[in-house]
A = this chain, B = another copy of it.
């Protein structure tokens, strides 16, 4: 198995990406080769900075350009033909790699994958599936940010892909699907979700619970939360923001009260273990499901550890043949 790694993507690239990739090449079983895609000089410099011998299964594929985190995706993908994102996707397209990962400009990865790889049969647009932790069990959020404007049909396709992903990755036998809305009654929602609600109800292959609200997300009941990429992105980032604010608040409360001050050390320890458990790095990257090829998107602020886990997710996605499962499931349904 060969995985392409966008060496220039992410806030700490290429250093963090190269470090994580070298670690994966050394320790992740089942990966034959890792291809670092990016500026050869820069990548070589980072490789030289690694401790110990560079594993022989790491190679470099030169790409002269890099797409910045803030560049408008469509224009950047079209203009920078020789960017690391485009080159990594090309490797997947040509069969030179079984999958790719990037911590770079998410929009650019989505656009490049959609243009070059196309979507799987029956899928209108690919969607990002993210695993989110709750105190009881994790759930899959789809779409976490690939498509800001979605049709009802796309939402149903997301539900189908999310179901397959939850089955393979979270091990749920019959994943329970919730449609993000503003109330649990059938009549609640916007025009698109109301239409999607009917279509989801009519899909015999899906275990559809109905509408869910923000309240229900972290209760640990549903396995898949379906929404458009705008709402998904808001959920993802608001959750991170609130979790951070609450930790900060509790610390403030401890510091303010002399009796509680004594417990600050205990609190810091508890916050640390909670963060470790909530850590998105552990879940590695989020797959762009529905693209005709394995593409894993990692957080822009990815550490070497996050890159390592993103490569693990890429390996697992290839091994599990996720795309074949999706094609078969969509073919058997009537949503395409």
In the complex, which residue of chain B has the Cβ closest to the Cβ of A182? Answer: B233
A233 partner residues in chain B, CB cutoff 8 A: 182, 213-214
A72 to B236, CA, bound (A): 30
A215 with B189: CB separation less than 8 A: no
A243 with B246: CB separation less than 8 A: yes
A229 partner residues in chain B, CB cutoff 8 A: 182
15 residue pairs A–B, Cβ–Cβ below 8 Å: A135-B252, A148-B190, A180-B234, A182-B230, A189-B230, A193-B230, A214-B240, A218-B241, A238-B238, A249-B277, A250-B250, A250-B270, A253-B273, A260-B270, A263-B267
B259 with A241: CB separation less than 8 A: no
A277 partner residues in chain B, CB cutoff 8 A: 249
If A148-B190, A149-B191, A270-B257 touch, does A237 touch B249 (CB 8 Å cutoff)? no
Contact partner of A149 (CB less than 8 A), chosen from B190, B253, B269, is B190
If A214-B234, A253-B274 touch, does A182 touch B148 (CB 8 Å cutoff)? yes
If A135-B248, A180-B234, A218-B242 touch, does A266 touch B274 (CB 8 Å cutoff)? no
A260 with B249: CB separation less than 8 A: no
Chain A interfacial positions (CB closer than 8 Å to B): 70, 72, 134-135, 145, 148-149, 180-182, 185, 187, 189-191, 193, 213-219, 228-231, 233-250, 252-254, 257, 259-260, 262-263, 266-267, 269-271, 273-274, 277-278
B230 with A190: CB separation less than 8 A: yes
In the complex, which residue of chain B has the Cβ closest to the Cβ of A238? Answer: B214
A262 partner residues in chain B, CB cutoff 8 A: 266
- Closest approach, in angstroms, between the C-beta of A276 and any C-beta of chain B? 10
Contact partner of A231 (CB less than 8 A), chosen from B230, B236, B244, is B230
A230 to B273, CA, bound (A): 34
A134 partner residues in chain B, CB cutoff 8 A: 245
In the complex, which residue of chain B has the Cβ closest to the Cβ of A218? Answer: B245
Q: In the complex, which of the residues A148, A187, A236, A238 has the most CB atoms of chain B within 10 Å of its own CB atom?
A: A238
A273 to B70, CA, bound (A): 40
If A182-B229, A269-B257, A271-B250 touch, does A237 touch B213 (CB 8 Å cutoff)? yes
A269 to B267, CA, bound (A): 13
If A189-B148, A189-B230, A257-B269 touch, does A135 touch B236 (CB 8 Å cutoff)? no
A270 with B248: CB separation less than 8 A: no
Contact partner of A234 (CB less than 8 A), chosen from B219, B231, B253, is B231
- Closest approach, in angstroms, between the C-beta of A169 and any C-beta of chain B? 21
A242 with B237: CB separation less than 8 A: no
A241 with B215: CB separation less than 8 A: yes
A270 to B246, CA, bound (A): 11
